[in-house]
Every structure is written in C-alpha cells, then in structure tokens.
Structure 1
C-alpha cells in the first residue's frame, strides 16, 4: 500500500512565509495548483494545520456536488456555519446593506434579510459583502479561508475569489485555494496570473526517491521503479496501481481493461458526471476505443455526426479527462487508469454494441490482429474459427511483452472453439495446442496454478506416444507442481510418464526434468540416476544442448550426494565452452542448462565461473518468461557474488530475485529470494534493514538443494544480526539430517554451523560441525572446500582457547586461519579469505604477538593418539571439541574426578601440557591419516 501524502517539505517554508504576513496583520494569498491526484487536498490540509499552529483560525470549504446546484457553494461550505456565531458576538459590525447582500449568499442569513436585492446586483454586491464579513471575522484574531477544488466552483464563487484578490481585505486574512490548472476557469487563471503577492505552490510529480518512500518495502525494488514509471509521479495513480498488487503479481499491463480500486473509480465517475449528456456518450466511446483516439472513429462508435463530436471532445478536454497528443491530431486519456475507470462505468449493453461497431470499422481498414483482438474477445460467437485464429495470432505477437493479455486472448479463443476441435489442423493446433500455449502464457504471467490446470487439460487431449507434443506439457506441469509445493505429485506424474514413453528424445527430456525434481526434493542419488540416463540418450541422439544440461545435473547431483568422483566433473569445462557458443535464442529452449552448470560451479566453490553461467541463465530465462529458473539463478548468483565480495552487484541481484519470485507466483521461490536479500543486508552491514528483512522472511519453505542454500543465507543473516536463538532453531531443524550425506552436504554449511554454534556458546557442537566439515572436505577432494574446513577448525581452536586463556592453541588456530586465507584467495572466495585473515589477526593479538614457527624436529617425544585407551580417546575428542571437565563427566556418566585422572594420563602420553595441545595432537593425526 502507498503511505498517505501529508504535504511536501519543499512547500512548508513557502507556506510559513505566506502566513507570516497574516500574523503581522496583513492579508495574504496562497494558490495551490496541479494535475488530478497530485495531493493538493493534502497540501491544503497542511496549510490549515500550520495556520492553526500559529494561532490562525481556519475555515475550509469546497464546491457542493453537481446535483446540489448551490450558488457560492465553496464559500457557503466554509463560512455559513460561522455567521450565526459572528452575528451574536458582534451584532453591529455588519451594516444592514451588507447583511442583506450576504443573505443572497448564505442560507443562515436569509430569514433576517430585509428583502432580496435586485437579482442583477446580487452577484456584484456579494463579493464586496464577503470581504466585509472576512474583515469582521478577523477583527479579533487572524483567519484563513481555505477553498478546495475551485476548478469545480460555480461562477459566484469564482467571482468572489477574483474580487478578493483584486481588492484584498483590510485585515489579517489568508485566502488559500486549490484547483487543477488545466480545468480552472479562464477568469480564475487570469486573476491569479495578474495578482500581486500571491504565493504560488505548483505540485510537481514525485521524484522516484519520494515515490519509493511512499511504497511498501515488500514490493521489489525493480517493480517499485516500474510502478513509479507507470504512475508518472502522480501519488493518486501510484496508490491505485499499488492497491492492485494486493491481488497477486503486479498488473500494470493488464490482460484486459481491468477494474480499478473503488476509491479511484468514484473520483473519476464524479468527473464524468459533470459532463453534458453528449460529453458522457463521447467519453464512453473513447473508453471502448482506447488510445490513440481520432475524432472520426470516436464519432462512428458513439453514432454521432462528426460536427457534433468535436464540441463534445472540446468539453472532455476542458475537464482534462482526455488530452491532445502534442504534434498530432489525436487524443489520449490523461492516464490508462482513467480510461479503465470510465470504461467500467459504462452500461454493459452499450459497451458490447460499441465493441461490435469497432470490429466492423477495424475490419474495413484491415487493422492488425493485435488491434482487433480486444474487441473480438467480446463480440465473437462460438465456432467462429476465424476469430480463434486471429486471437491466437495476436497472442503470439504480444506474449513476450504482455503475457497476461496473451493468456486472456487464448482463453477467449478456447471459449470459441468447439469441444471436439482437437485436430491439429484446427486453428492454433486445436484445443490441445491452445491449452499448451495458454499454459506457457500463464506461467510467464506469474499464474502457476492456472498454467498447471491448462496443461493438465491439454494432457488429457494429447494421447500417450505423441512424440514431441505430450512430453513438454508433462515436464512443464511437473515443474509447476513442484514450485507450487506439490513435489510428491510432480514426481509421481513424471514416473508414470517415463514408464509409458518410448520415444527416446522424449525420454531423455523427461529424465532430465525428473533429475531436476529429485535434486530439488532432497534426493540427489535418484537425481544422479536420471541425469545419467538423460546424458546417455542425448549423446547417442546428438542432442547437444540437452546433453549439456544433463551433464550439469549429473555434476550437481554427484556433489549433493557427496560422490563427486562419479559426477564426471572433468567434463564441465568442455560443456561450459559449448554452451558459451550457443546463441541466446537457441539456449532459450533450455535455460536450465547454464543454471545446472552454474550450480555445479557454486557447489565446487568456484564463484567466478559460477557467476558467468548464472548470468547467462538469468538472461535467457528472463527472455523466455521462465521466472522460476530466473529466480533460482539469481539466488545462486547472490551467493556467488557475496563469496567474491561483490556486494553492490549482489544487492541488485537480490532485488531482481525478489521480483522474479513475485512474478512466478511461488511461495517457496519467494522465500528463497527473501533469504538472498537477508544475506546481502547482512554482508553490507545494514543491521536495521537486516532485522526488518528477517522479520518478514522466516525459514525457507523447502528442505532441498535450493532450500538449503536459502537456509544458509538466513542462518548467516541471523548470526550477524545477533540472534543466536534463531540460529539454534535453524541448526536443530537441519542438524540431524546434515550429519550423514545430508540435505545439503556442503562444507560451507558445516563451517557456518560451526560459527553459529560458537556464537550460541556451544563449543562442543561447534567442534562436531568442524569435524564434519573436515570429513566431507576429504571426500570432495576440493582445495577450496578443504580451506573452508580448516577455517572452521581454526575458529574452534581460537574461540575455545580465548576462553581458556591457552596461548599455544590460539597460535595454532591463527596459523590454520592464515593457511585457509591463502587457499581461499586463490579460489576467488574473497569474503571468506578476509574472515580467515581477521580471525588469524585476532588470535595473534590476543596471544600477545606473532606465532612462533614450529621446530623442524621433535623437541619432545610425543606419543601418538593411537596409544590412548578407548576411554582416553573419548575424553580427548571431547576436550578438542571444547567441553569442560564437568561437561565431559555429564556426557560420559562418570565423576569429574575420573575425568581429571584420565586427562592427566592423556597429557603425559601426548607430551602436552594443556587442553589445546590435546586438540592440536588429534588434529595433526587426523590430517596425516588423510
């Protein structure tokens, strides 16, 4: 929603300057002018507030409704209620002649009048009498007469205002009035332009920054910019457009002439009501036609002679409902929202007849299908195959730019086509072809449920075994079901389709889609099997692009299942090179191919390479309207950019991810995008924004690979926000699953859990996660992953020894952190390298100096940990994890004295003198054993 506009800072000083003269006993004038909806009423309210704050009594009024037909309406509205009070307090201040003149204007004085003056003199005397009245009211205290909507004022009110400006009251009176400059009477404009000492406040369009400040922060930044562009900086239009967002993804380019919010519609309806009967007829015809408008065409639709239409057009222009397009002989509504409000106020029967007349006129002129389609949808009759073909062609032409409108036209075509029109020779491929196209348009329009329903109906009409027709519809529907949170249904659908698909190309494509479902549903092993099958078939059939996507899926599923040696990772460079040579228009058929490769590079801790492929995935998926793929790519891109410390670009990607998720209509994707936005706020150090982001984000909705990536982002954000409790909640929800192959067995996740546990004061848990990171890093055989694991262990050593006051352990941790920083820099993990260096510096500072180099030979004979007894090894491991003697005793169900006895033997056997030495000895042994 748009926050209310309460006045402009830039105008406040001018208002105060105008009021200063009144406070010193002089009259003053303030004019407020601007286009409709620019906030003039709000600015007048600000004038009243400031006046009252300075001791000025304000009287406010506005013209009465059209059917009231009350002369001097705004003046009466402001002052009539005060006259009886003024008369009782100062009965002799107004001469009898002035009271009689005022009786013509104010109903409250009519009974006391000696008799009505001659009608011809009434208006002339009223202006002078109102000035005397204002002087009387201001005799004891300054007053302000505030009049709104003078563009709707009657001639009497305009006459009074003009006379007051020409002959100001001889008292501290402020006259403040507002009007729409385009609609104001020429007399009022002339009076304002020639008057002296008038404070003129012209309401200009909002700047983009001011407009964004008025909008809800939940609206994506990119869409806020689009809303601003569509609103033209007008607060009223901005509010109406933003209200439309509450009904789903933004609809600036609506599929149809959609209704506008009731509050906005009522304002426009009141404007139309002020027109003459002919004016209302012509503006109705204009709303049916839409921009641009030509007078001959408008006259034909309104069934008027052109000679009668021109005066009506002039009237509508004078009310600023339509405007002349500069440099042309055409007209257009002042805004598309105004056209929509007028259109829905027209009686439906007349509208249909008008659309029919438009179709006839356009058909004679052989207008393009896109121009005719909006009218055909309303007047075509069932079984009109020509109309079906026209609507399908128009939808094809505009689908990339306006998918919602394309979807609406395809629905209209389906309603015209007979139920039995399933033959491919029918227009647009028959019902099945139209349904598949409708599903595609709905997906691009951010309507996943409608898209899924359309594809389900298409699948009923396309028999199994229809090569090249059924498989794409099944694959698309399965992916949509998954994005809608119906993963089990999606996987079952794919399994059933794979079982009855015999065409090898279709089988390969379906296998790849099944790999997607399994990989994003916490089943990397199954994903690997399907990706391998797709890869094998694609290679045999020469389907290079499909093969590239399958190889990416193969690599991702292998890494996720912690079996990279089986993932043919060596083929990634060749695959990436081939994708780089594929044109974008060809790659648009498989935007998931660069996404898979980008995911694989991200998992392998290669952020630079990941960004290159994810950039391509974003570009091609956006052009194809594949919002889900774009959102996945953008969230992964945020992670890669943050890893490389490219935070400015990461901010932009996070906002784009939120918009893509919004447009996709998927709650799960939106949770991923919000998580990415949290990570960026955390990395940039904007804690106030971070806490707001976390409040609206919550935990990611899915425990899959993308959900795990989002979970890592949220955990780190909560950690930086100083919320160890929130970290613990997320750790506990994923910790048990993460102990084996896991729902995201990535070393980075374990390192993050190590940090979170240390922050939460759980060194034992932190040690366990660090150990898990080391174990997994060994299995992956990745230098960057190994460095992350070393950093995890270093942080445990440094933090634990900082608590215990052990210098040797802190220095060992500093050395490990320095080694990790060097390896992380080499991998392009700039952010993590900086953290590692910072940890090493803190450790050295706390220990009182730089670490000493270890002796090259054994200065002391030490016993290998293998010589320890089982109980001693148990206690040594718990010591290395940071547990105190009491905690170890509780864990092993022994006394604390027993732990101390074993610990003294461990020190002696290992040749160390403190607990850090135990941890170092176990760490060194584990490294050698690898």
Structure 2
C-alpha cells in the first residue's frame, strides 16, 4: 500500500467509525502559501461550522486564527502584524480541542515534505504538545525530502507511532501490471519500480502508451502526471541548482561533480553547493562508498531532462560528447565502450556527412542490440540521417561485396544500415517501422542481387501480414516473383506466395504455388524450404477441401526430414515445423501435431521470431485443448499472449486473447472467462487464422451464457474458409448448441442436419464423430434413448481420433441420457451427485455463484468446480442450459 493509499484508508476508517476526518496537503502550485496544508484541511469545515461551536476560543485565539484561515477573517479584529509561530501553533491546537469537544476528529495531512515553514512549525508543535482531546493526527512525508525541523520533530516526539512504508512485494506489485505482458517484462517492471507503486504506475502507463518513437528510445518522456510532480520539485531549487540538475539530466548516471560542472559551464567549486542542494531535495543521491551521484530514479532523470529548454539541452549534449571523446581517445580497448557511452549524445548533435559519427553509432548499436533493440534502432536511424546518398560508398557496408555490382556499390552502407534497422525494429516490437526500413532497403537494392532481395521481400511480407496488410504483402511478393529469374529466389518467393494465399487469400491457388515451390526446392536440395512448402501445401489442401488429391503424400517425409535437423538448422526457417504442425492438427491428429509445434516454439523463440512463436503457441493451445490437457493449454495461451506483446502486432494479440478465452471456457472458470472476454474485445477476423480466433471466442461466449454473441461471431467467421474437414462441422455444432441455449430446438435440429451433411463430404472419421455428438445433444430433450446411443458412438469415434475433450463431452451426454431415460419416465433420477443437484437447482432459480456459496456455506471456487462438472454431465455450456436440462429430463433438484 502506498503512502497516499494508506492515508486514504485512515480517513475512510475514521469516517466509518463516526470520526470527523479533515484531510489536506500542500498545493505546490500555490508556492509558499503560508499554512497551506493546514488551511486545506480545516478552512472548509470551519466555514460550515456554526459560530456557537467556536465559543471555546478566546478573542486572541480568533485573531491569530483569522490570520491563517480565510473563513475566520470576516468579522475578526485586525490580525497582528507579526504573529509568533508558537502562538499560531498553540491556537491551532486549541481549535482542534474545541472541534473535538462534541465528537472525535482526525487531522490527516499528506506530502509534508512539500509543506511551507508555517505548516511545518504547527505540525511540529502538535507532535510535541498534542491536543488534550480525542484527536487523531496522521502525517505523511518523505523523510529524505523533509525539512530538518520536521525530521527533528518526528524523531523527538514521545507519542508518535511511526509507520515506515516498505517496498511492495513482487507478488503484490505484479497484481497491478497487465498479466498479458511477457513474464520477464513484468519482472523487469517490478525491479525498475523498486517496489514503489508510483514508479510502477508511471512505468506501466509508459508501456501501455506504446513504445517510444525511434528518436526518443534512450530517454523517452514520462507520463504528464509524473512529469508535473518532478517539475514541482525542481522548481523549489535555486537558479544554480536548476542549472546543475539540468546538466545532470543530460549527462545521466553516474554523475561526477567535475563532469557535471563542465557540462553546466560552472566553476567546480560552485558546483558542489548546488549538488548538495539537489541532494537535499532527494533528486539525486550519493552512491555509497564512491564520490559519484545518481538520480533518485531513472524516471526522475527523464522528467527533468524533458523539462529543460531544447536549445540549452543540445549545447549540453555537445559538451558531453567532447568531454567523453577526450576521455576515451588513445585508450586501448575503449572503442566500443566509448561508443555506447557517447552514442546518446552523438545522435542529437551530429550533422550530415559526419562519417565518424555514423561509424560510432553503428558500432554502439551492434553492441547493445540484443539487450536494447529499441535503443539500437534509434541509433541506426540517426546514423542513416547522417549518411546522404552521395557519401554512402565512403562507409564500408554490412553487405558482402559480391552481392553488389560495380555500379551499385554506393548503396552498400545505406542498405546495410537499413537492414540492421529493420531487424532491430522487429525485435523491439515496432513492425511498422521495421517494414518501412525494409521498403527503403528494397528501393536501393539492385534487381541483380540474388538471395538478399528475396529474403528482404519475404521478411517485409511477413511484417505486412502481421500488420493486417496481407493484400499489400501479396502484391509485393508477386511483383518480385515476376521480375526474378534466379531459381532459388523463385522457389523462396513461390513459397511466400503460397503461405500468403493460404492464410489470407485463396487456398486452392496456394496449393499450386506451394507444389511449385516444393518441386524447385527439392531439385535445388533446399531441405528446409522444401519442408515448409510441403507443410503449406498440406494446409492449403485441407482448407480448400482437396486433401486427397495426392497433396498430403509428402507430409510424412517432410516431417521426418525436420525431425533429423538440429534446432540451430531450423532457426533459419522456424515456420517449417509450424506449417507441418498446422497440417497435422487440421487433419485431426492433435497428439502428433504437438511435437512439431514444440519445435516451432523453441526455434522461433531463440531466433526472436515472435510472430512465428505466437502462431505456434496458438496452434498448440488448440491441440492441447483437443486432448483435454487444459493446464498445459493455459500455459501455452499465456506464452502466446507474451509473444504477441513482443511482436507489436494487434492482430497477433487478438489471436492470443482468443486462445486464452477458449482455455478459460474449457476449464469452466467463468470469472476468468468473463474478464478475458471483457478485456479482449472483438477478435480480428482476417483470413483463416482470424476465422479460427472468432470460433474460439464464439465457443467462449457460449460458455459465458451469450448464445447470441456466439452466433454473431460464427456468422462473421463463416465468411472465411473453414479450417480443416471438421471445422465446418464444429461450427454447425456450436450453432446448434447456441440454438438449444436460446430455446430453439427446431433451429438446433437444422444445424445438426447441416453438420451431418457436411461431414458426409469427408472421408476422415473425426467430422462424422463431431456431427454425431451434435445430433446427440439435439436429441437429448426429445429422444433420450437414441441420443444416448448417438453420444456413445460419437465418444468411441472421437477417442479413436484423439479428440479427448469432445469424447468426454460425448460420454457425459450419453451418461446423462441413459440415467434419465425418456423424459418423464424416471423423474428424480439424474447423473448428478446430491451436492450437484442442490447447486443445479439453485442455478435454475437464478442465484449467482456468490449467493449459492453463501447459501451452502462453501467457497465460490467450490461452486465453480461443481458447476463445471454439471455443465459437462448435462452437456450444456451455461446456466440457462442447466435450467433447461433439468426441465427437459424431469430432474428434480435435491
């Protein structure tokens, strides 16, 4: 609990107990307004107090108080020209005693480290001589920033209970952070906040505000509310103090007085008193055991930095750069270290044609790219801005010499920087900037550069797709393919065209592209590309409804080839195991799919390919859910959300959220499910993966008791192609269940018939089994015997297909129907335990989980556990379904 929250709780408890609570705090905007916090707390109540209540005050007291409180000034005698501090403190103490004569009161003052001298004197006297009445005094301050007078009063007071706020524990702090963030990001946020809730709030606001722009990555602005607090602190410094703290903010930690003095253009002896002043306000702190200082927190430094006038700031950067250059010149082994130290200043002051600065920034970016890709991107962009086209050849480029013709060698340095910039932006979760950098590189790369152009086109196509610009990506790949004659490039681009058509275009067209890419890759012995093409061909064949046209024959061989490769080899193309895994999953072999998807997750994570990792994890969630391995599915869904965060793609975040909703629905965790649905918003339905996401959320909405929401999402998803032979059948099944929950058995029957007709088109056993399960659920209310047999047959077929979750649902439906028999034959018989019958009956009466828990003297979690079992046993997905099932099978609540 933070300081402000603690005082708010004191106030709340006081008022609940019938104690009048007066609260106040200094208003920094009012400058040194005398007695500011005291006036803020008491002047309002005094203006509303009847004069009779103040009869205990003498005329002298009233005169002294009238000089403090505006509400008492009217009608009072002329206040003395100079009131001794002890007289004011005494008068306030008497005032509190008078106010507490009829009921206890609490005086709560916050932020006393900002208080004026008058307020500090009154508070100190109240602590030394407390009111002789039922008065609770609660004061809060930052000890490091408090005045010596206030600290001494607190240290010497006899009747003071001191509550020293400790940093938040990590477990408590992480409850304030978005759980979708990658786990290491959440831990980093906690460490960066040092357990301070204010810092944690500012850091979280920055994160949700989006990544900083390329030009401000090394010292991004802070939230306005935080900047205002720090600006107020700086305003209390002297003019020299403000100058020196500005120099400190430009220089950055660690701070040495001689260097700070040089940046501030002060004599060193004049800088020491200013440093003392700044440290007394706790803006900077001495590093123990050294002669160096550092800012109280990096956020404080950033707030100070962005409040400095820009012209002076640029001059200060230039002075720092010169000082650091002189310090590292001629020192062996200091080149890279010096580059990293100087880069933040060079980015802001270097001018065009400064090739030394370009080389320095490139070296610094190389050194930090893994740890700080966002900052590396900033420095690479700055280097590009300094490198005009006519000077590009003067800087050695990152490209191998044989990739460029004699006439195109000038572009080498710029292209190398652009490619590195694109890589850094992609790693930093800035796909838009990464795409722009690669587009500029392609403009400069000559057509004859084999291998590299195709690779850049492929990378940009992936970025465009993740940004929701799949049409643009297809045009890009198609145009490059039309102008390429190099066979290896044509094979790679044909593959790119195939997967783009598969996920967002025409799967039938994708089959031809993938087959062509596979043949060329096989002829050129490009094994990884061949495997990826075969996997894409299999997925496209399934999606286009032509899985038996000889297009799956090579899938086992491709899977075997991938299995023989090391993770390092697969890292060159982690999408190869992803496509093999998707193909096997869509063929309704979830157990076999998991091993391929696991490889895809491992290699894409090590290569920093966040989009591939996210797709693989979402597919893994589906496979694990099909196998009823829900705990593992929940872990994969959380990891998918984290990978989506890293990618910076809103589309991928939508897919990951859909997976989390599905898992919560399957686990029967209704509270988590509703929270996920509320937080995720409508899924991004774009192409086949978007249709899958919509279907996952549709099932989740049905489980949450929203059949209309389920139906509307499925209608949107229906505009995209069905994902696999069983996908259309599943969609019909969901629509049938939604109709049943909405009280429309006739509509449910039509959807069951549609599922059966669709399943008959496929040779695979899984679609027929899913359709049979749908029919069993529809039969439940009308023909229990036939429904039980259908459910039993469906369970056997689903077990054989490895669809364990569906098989369990089928068995639950069959068991319920067999025990109940035809409606009305066996009233009172039910497949529910006595406790489950109780809970089902209370649900049918409309009671909520908390109300049921209170009625039965159990926990809410226990009710949720029983309710999930009831759903499974009755073959329903929500509370309305429970009530209808009880009615349809004549089950009487126990």
Match of 2:257 among 282, 295, 307: 295
Of the two, which has the highest radius of gyration?
1
2:868 alignment partner in structure 1: none
Displacement of 1:445: 2.6
Cα 1:72–1:843 shift into 2, 3 Å: closer
Q: In the comparison of the two structures, how many residue pairs are matched?
A: 794
Counterparts of 2:393 and 2:320, CA distance in 1: 32
- Deviation of the 1:207 alpha carbon: 4.2
State whether structure 2 residue 10 is matched by structure 1 residue 54.
no
Q: Which residue of 2 aligns with 1:771?
A: 757
CA distance in 2, matches of 1:637, 1:500: 38
Q: Residues of 1 paired with 2:689 and 2:573: CA distance?
A: 19
1:841 to 815, 822, 826: 815
Give the C-alpha shift of residue 520 in structure 1. 0.6
Retained in 2: the 8 A contact 1:751–1:770?
no
Please report how far the alpha carbon of residue 651 of structure 1 lies from its aligned counterpart in structure 2 after TM superposition. 2.0
Q: Which residue of 1 aligns with 2:796?
A: 819
* Cα gap change, 1:265 to 1:579, in 2 (>3 Å): same
Q: Cα 1:714–1:112, aligned 2, differ >3 Å: closer, same or farther?
A: closer
Q: SS state of the match for residue 294, structure 2?
A: strand
| Corresponding residue number in structure 1 for 2:660 | 677
Moved more, 197-206 or 313-322: 197-206
Aligned pairs for 1:277-426 within 5 A:
277-326=239-288, 328-366=290-328, 367-423=337-393, 426=396
* Alignment-derived partner of residue 693 in structure 1: 676
Q: Distance in 1 between matches of 2:79 and 2:429?
A: 71
Q: For residues 243 and 747 of structure 1, do their structure 2 counterparts lie closer, same or farther at Cα, with a shift above 3 Å needed?
A: same
Distance across 2 between alignment mates of 1:618 and 1:100: 77
After TM superposition, the structure 1 = structure 2 runs for residues 475-624 of structure 1, keeping only pairs within 5 Å, are 475-565=458-548, 569=552, 571-572=554-555, 574-580=557-563, 582-624=565-607
Gaps of 5+ in 1: 1-7, 9-37, 779-784, 850-930
Distance 2:272 2:316 in 1: 19
Structure 1 stretch displaced more, 383-392 or 291-300: 291-300
Quickly say closer, same or farther: Cα 1:133–1:795, change in 2 above 3 A: closer
**Alignment partner of 1:188 out of 150, 158, 161:** 150
Question: Partners in 2 of 1:152 and 1:619 — Cα distance?
Answer: 53
2:106 aligns to what?
144
Q: Distance in 2 between matches of 1:734 and 1:815?
A: 30
Choose which of 719, 724, 741 in structure 2 pairs with 1:745. Answer: 724
More off after superposition, 146-155 vs 661-670:
661-670
Of 558-567 and 140-149, more deviation after overlay is shown by 558-567
Structure 1: how far apart are the matches of 2:138 and 2:686? 62
In the superposition, relative to structure 1, how do residues 176 and 747 fare at CA in structure 2: closer, same or farther (>3 Å)? same
SS in structure 1 at match of 2:97: helix
Aligned match of 2:423 = 440
CA change 1:493–1:770 in 2 (3 A) is: same
400-409 or 634-643, larger mean C-alpha shift: 400-409
8 Å CA contact retained: 2:212, 2:220: no
Q: Deviations over 1:734-792 (max 9, x none)?
A: 5587xxxx54232244134224325413213212212322431x1xxxxxx51452242
Indicate yes or no: 2:780 matched with 1:805.
no
Q: 1:558 to 1:330 in 2, by over 3 A?
A: farther
Give the 3-state SS of the residue equivalent to 2:139 in structure 1: strand
CA distance in 2, matches of 1:52, 1:259: 40
Deviations 1:611-647 (A, max 9, x none): 3332332333334333322221121121112122222
Q: Secondary structure at the match of 1:605?
A: coil
1:75-112 Cα distance to aligned partner (Å, 9 max, x none): 34444567788795367634466556657766756996
Matched, 1:259 2:221: yes
Taking a change above 3 Å as real, the CA distance of residues 436 and 276 of structure 1, as seen in their structure-2 partners, is same
Alignment-derived partner of residue 331 in structure 2: none
Once the two structures are superposed, residues 657-684 of structure 1 have per-residue CA deviations (whole angstroms, 9 ceiling, x without a partner) of: 2333344343432332221121011111
8 Å contact 2:180–2:638 — kept in the other structure?
no
Deviation at 1:706, TM superposition (A): 1.6
Inter-partner Cα distance in structure 1 for 2:647 and 2:749: 42
Distance 1:521-1:68 versus aligned 2 partners, 3 A rule? closer
- Post-superposition Cα deviations, 1:501-542, rounded to whole Å, max 9, x if no partner, equal 122222222122111101112422222222223223323333
Any idea what SS the aligned residue of 1:59 has?
Answer: strand
Decide whether the 8 Å contact of 1:151 with 1:180 is kept in 2. Answer: yes
Gaps of 5+ in 2: 329-336, 399-411, 740-744, 824-894
* Worse-matched range after superposition: 147-156 or 202-211: 202-211
User: By how many angstroms is 1:812 displaced?
Assistant: 3.4
**1:361/1:680 CA distance change after superposition, 3 Å:** same
Kindly indicate whether residue 416 of structure 2 is the aligned counterpart of residue 470 of structure 1. Answer: no
Question: Structure 2 vs 1, CA of residues 72 and 529 (structure 1 numbering), >3 Å: closer, same or farther?
Answer: same
Match of 1:26 in 2: none
**Partner residue of 1:241?**
203
1:362 Cα offset (Å): 1.9
Question: Closer, same or farther in 2 for the Cα pair 1:284/1:433, shift >3 Å?
Answer: same
RCO (CA 8 Å, sep 6+): is it higher in 1 or 2?
Answer: 1
Query: SS of the counterpart of 2:151?
Result: helix
Aligned residue in 2 for 1:179: 141
8 Å Cα contact 1:395-1:410 kept in structure 2: yes
In structure 1, how many angstroms separate the alpha carbons of the residues matched to 2:314 and 2:157?
Answer: 51
In the TM superposition, what is the alpha-carbon distance from 1:339 to its structure 2 partner? 1.3
What TM-score, normalized to structure 1?
A: 0.78
1:904 paired residue number: none
Contact 1:703–1:743, Cα closer than 8 Å, also in 2: no
Query: 1:87 and 1:708 mapped to 2: Cα distance?
Result: 69
Distance 1:394 1:567, change over 3 A: farther
- CA shift, 1:358, in A, is 1.4
Identify the range of structure 1 (648-657 vs 87-96) with the bigger mean alpha-carbon deviation: 87-96
Tell me, in whole angstroms, the C-alpha distance in 2 between the residues paired with 1:115 and 1:764. Answer: 90
C-alpha distance in structure 2 between counterparts of 1:647 and 1:222, whole Å: 24
TM-score (norm 2): 0.81
Q: Which residue of 2 aligns with 1:756?
A: 735
Q: Is the 1:813–1:843 contact (alpha carbons within 8 Å) kept by the matching residues of 2?
A: no
What is the CA-CA distance between 1:415 and the residue it aligns to? 0.9
How far apart are residue 800 of structure 1 and its match?
4.7
Kindly report which structure 2 residues correspond to 1:767-916, keeping only aligned pairs within 5 A, or say none: 767-776=753-762, 778=763, 785-796=764-775, 798-805=776-783, 807=785, 809-810=786-787, 812-824=789-801, 827=802, 829-847=803-821
SS of the residue corresponding to residue 513 of structure 1 reads helix
In structure 2, the CA distance between the partners of 1:555 and 1:199, relative to structure 1 (3 Å rule), is same
* CA drift at 1:346: 0.8
Partner Cα distance (1:343, 1:151) in 2 = 23
